[in-house]
Structure 1
């Protein structure tokens, strides 16, 4: 027959195991709920993308991780992510609906007759261009360009052209991680 002390120790161990299981279960449950919430928020409101390619250098480098905000309300100079043929493209908004875009052989961009100030472009160049300038941006479309003009595939390409508002994944909110 066990002593009273042994019975008390065994009851203490049983209560400890029960409390441990309860704490473990509630912690795991909370982590699952938080993870599900984070996935839901990132999918619906704040998508996360990683930069692939060099078309936005020096502003964005390959491997940078960005937080976007889901919105098709973009303005001049903003960087946005657009969906094109199941790919995500990060580019800069240069023209909105109705704007007349012109680009000279030196790579200077004019929007509605005014020279665009582009301090983010290191080397201005016409690059690969398959459209004729001056070009008027169609209704409900935006004209996008990469910062690395000689290698960027953007609205100057007839394959991409102007982007519809329904193709905008979101605009860049901030950079989370920079690959150095």
Structure 2
């Protein structure tokens, strides 16, 4: 899930790994460890955590598979992430939202009423202050595709979102996407559950 113009970067949808994929991932994890007992314990822990996450997704939390590269390296193609439903969101949150019958993932840069500015080097300013973005990889900054007038004020009840790979991400910098209404946000991404070696909370 990521970008809309390219068919190769399709929207995320809830596609769980097959049993064969899970078994292969567990086998690969085991082969990387040196002690047999540790192998068995880690396998049980990871499998239990994965099963619990899947059950929670079915009954409580939405689950998404990532397509595309606009959120790399934070989210990679094929990652499966768990989201929470929340009515409030903050700068820096990773969110999934509906757009043109797709589910996209981006990062919240600014909230309702905030002023956003981006210089030619891709440095983002919110309300006149440079936004600290430790989640970006080296060289990820860039003005990218932008046809809005800067500085830009975020409308009420909407959020300004951007991908972590600024040069390829299609996001609120383009009028065709714009800011995301609160009611279109389907969840805050909080936990990566696949691949198993990268299981953990998202930032």
- For the aligned pair, the TM-score class normalised by the smaller chain equals 0.7 to 0.9
The one of 73, 76, 79 equivalent to 2:88 is: 73
Kindly report which structure 2 residues correspond to 1:127-142, keeping only aligned pairs within 5 A, or say none.
127-142=144-159
Aligned residue for 2:183, secondary structure, equals: helix
Q: Distance in 1 between matches of 2:63 and 2:103?
A: 11
Query: Once superposed, which parts of structure 1, at least 4 consecutive aligned residues long, lie more than 2 Å away?
Result: 38-45
What SS class does the counterpart of residue 107 from structure 1 fall into? Answer: coil
**Which residue of 42, 50, 57 maps to 1:42?**
57
Please tell me whether Structure 1 or Structure 2 has the larger radius of gyration of its CA atoms: 1
1:41 positional shift: 5.8
Q: In 1, Cα distance between the equivalents of 2:156 and 2:87? A: 14
SS of structure 1 residue aligned to 2:176 = coil
Q: Trace 1:11-160 onto structure 2 (pairs within 5 A).
A: 42=57, 45-122=60-137, 123-160=140-177
Unaligned runs of 5+ in 1: 1-37
Q: 1:61 to 1:129 in 2, by over 3 A?
A: same
- Say whether residues 1:178 and 2:195 are aligned partners: yes
For normalisation by structure 2, the TM-score amounts to 0.67
- For 1:56, what is the secondary structure of its paired residue? coil
Question: TM-score when scaled to structure 1?
Answer: 0.75
RMSD: 1.9
Contact 1:146/1:153 (CA < 8 Å) preserved in 2? yes
